[in-house]
Chains A and B, each alone.
Chain A
Amino acid sequence: MQIPIEYYLILSAFMFSVGVVGVLTRRNAIVVFMCVELMLNSANLTLITYSSYLGDTVGQLFVFFVMAVAAAEAAVGLAIIIAIFRNKLTINIDEINILKW
């Protein structure tokens, strides 16, 4: 029995919402970044779902690009987080407030 496409889409929409809420509520820079990765992964799940149901490989190709870009972003992002930790000895974004938000 084939699982209906709606199940996958609802799961990925749920993952996306968890990511958005996490970014908005969590205060640790690394956890915020992990929530962003969750959002990207939910998009990947949607792409793969459609790719499989449409019988089209473009979606799967796109996932590889998204993963490569996410890896590049992680490299830069973690470097920035390390740099701010060296300066301030904290990565809590409530305490990083010389500039007003």
Chain B
Amino acid sequence: MFENTQQFLDMLPIIIIGAGILISTTIEMYSEKSEAVLPWFSVFIFSAAAFYSLVYADKQSIILQNMLSTGGITNIFYFIFNIGAAIVCLLSLDYTKKYGMNYGEYYILIQASVLGMMFMAGAKDLFMIFLGLEIMSVSFYVLAGVNRKKEKAIEGALKYFLLGAFATGFLVYGIALIYGSAQSTSIEVITAGFTSLTGNILFVAGVLLFLIGFSFKIAAFPFHMWVPDVYQGSPTTVSGLFSTAGKAAAFSAIIATLAALFNSSPDNIFSPYLSVLALFSMLFGSIVAIAQSNIKRMLAYSSISHAGYMLIGLAAGSFDGTAGVIFYLTVYTFMNLAAFGIVALIEGENETNLELDSYSGLGNRNPVLAALLSICMFSLAGIPPMAGFFGKYYVFIAAIKSDLIWLAIVGIFSSVISVYFYLRVVVLMYFKDSEFEKVPAKSFSGFLGVTISILLIIALGIFPGSLLDLITSYL
């Protein structure tokens, strides 16, 4: 009996979100004012789950018959997803009203996707990874097309759905081959037999198909084609969720499965594959982003190049690399959410004010938002005092330690290119006169969400070591 209580407490964050979904559905069914209640209710349960998981992060255990691990890294990921989703809910409050899509279901779907992400982060079995990924993805397909009367949104949803389902096909086939050759779906068993399995061609093919399936989800180079369209077509707040929490969840699943594999074997046979993926993602994302005039598309390409930087950490295949990736993901989640949040605040009705030109002169019209957006852009570009710099620094250092110096050099080169298009926004805001006089509508909750993200970025920029030490101690 005592053991069961302990398991219950260990998985309390998941239970909070799961119960939250059921309660929200009931509120949505029986209440007339569900649209006003649900956003704040979601913010409440997300914050509760986030703080619970952070406070009890050092209680590590494996529960539910070796299906789910709790504590440690898993709880850090829970924190990232939940805080990210809470910020998205805050940003959505006024944004959804602007587009007349203020449905209660919107928040229930965000909760469901977070539940899926939490399954992925804690997975100890391929079952959990598959189910978590699908709970997340199916919620995301609906969220992408939630504004169903707008052609662009529904078109983005269709592209996301078709390519996402395609990726699922690869993933399931990969899992089938891994199961066949390792004779188990438990990640521990697979890890234990890894060295003898690498000679098995079916196993290698299975892991490669598995990685291909996940490359779609993290938006890495050859499988990135959906990213700009989906991010542009979806509601801006939802794109923020896709690009941050969704990407963090896919990385958490890769880390949960493959980090153990990489760290257990002296020669990492998947490192060349990941290095090439990282190389092309970084360069492609940074170079194509220069040519974009729509800020959401620009952020989409920048998210492809950021996936490349994170893959460097995985290609390094060391504890340093994994810790660097997790640190990078934390920082990236908050800076990108802040950037998408500010875009959502400035966006006018019916997709206006999304071009880069509409940012010119923002420094005069709305100095506070301009200052906040400049902090985001500096951080995304990786300018030294900002948190984004330390994220890149840690993964590059890990790559150099693992003798991947060429990859680190390409990474630095690519960040130099990316400075151009990030700083172009800052230059436009401060050094160009505006042609528009329009001041964005006031939104208290949206501003609150952006401020929280910016404060977290600044805090991580000042004390990067505290988070990194925490991550390293749990690895």
Contact = CB atoms under 8 A, between A and B. Distances in A.
Interface residues of B, number: 41
A14 B175 CA distance: 17
Interface stretch (B44-52, B149-157, B326-334, B463-471): B149-157
B142 interface: yes
How large, as a class, is the contact surface on chain A?
35 or more
B176 A36 contact: no
A5 B245 CA distance: 41
A80 to B, nearest CB: 5
Given A43-B176, A99-B156, A100-B229, A69 B165 contact: no
A7 to B, nearest CB: 14
B206 to A, nearest CB: 10
A99 B152 contact: yes
A10 interface: no
A43 B175 contact: yes
B238 to A, nearest CB: 14
Interface in A24-74: 29, 32-33, 36, 39-40, 42-44, 46-47, 49-50, 54, 56, 58-59, 61-62, 65-66, 69, 72-73
B339 to A, nearest CB: 20
A11 interface: no
Q: Tell me whether chain B's interface is mostly helix, strand or loop, or mixed.
A: helix
Interface string B164-179: 0110111011011101
A13 B138 CA distance: 26
A39 B154 contact: no
B130 A80 contact: no
Contacts of B156: 99
Given A32-B162, A36-B169, A62 B175 contact: yes
A66 B169 contact: no
B166 to A, nearest CB: 5
A36 B127 contact: no
Contact of B145 (A43, A72, A83): A83
Given A36-B162, A59-B179, A80 B184 contact: no
A96 B165 contact: no
B272 interface: no
B99 to A, nearest CB: 16
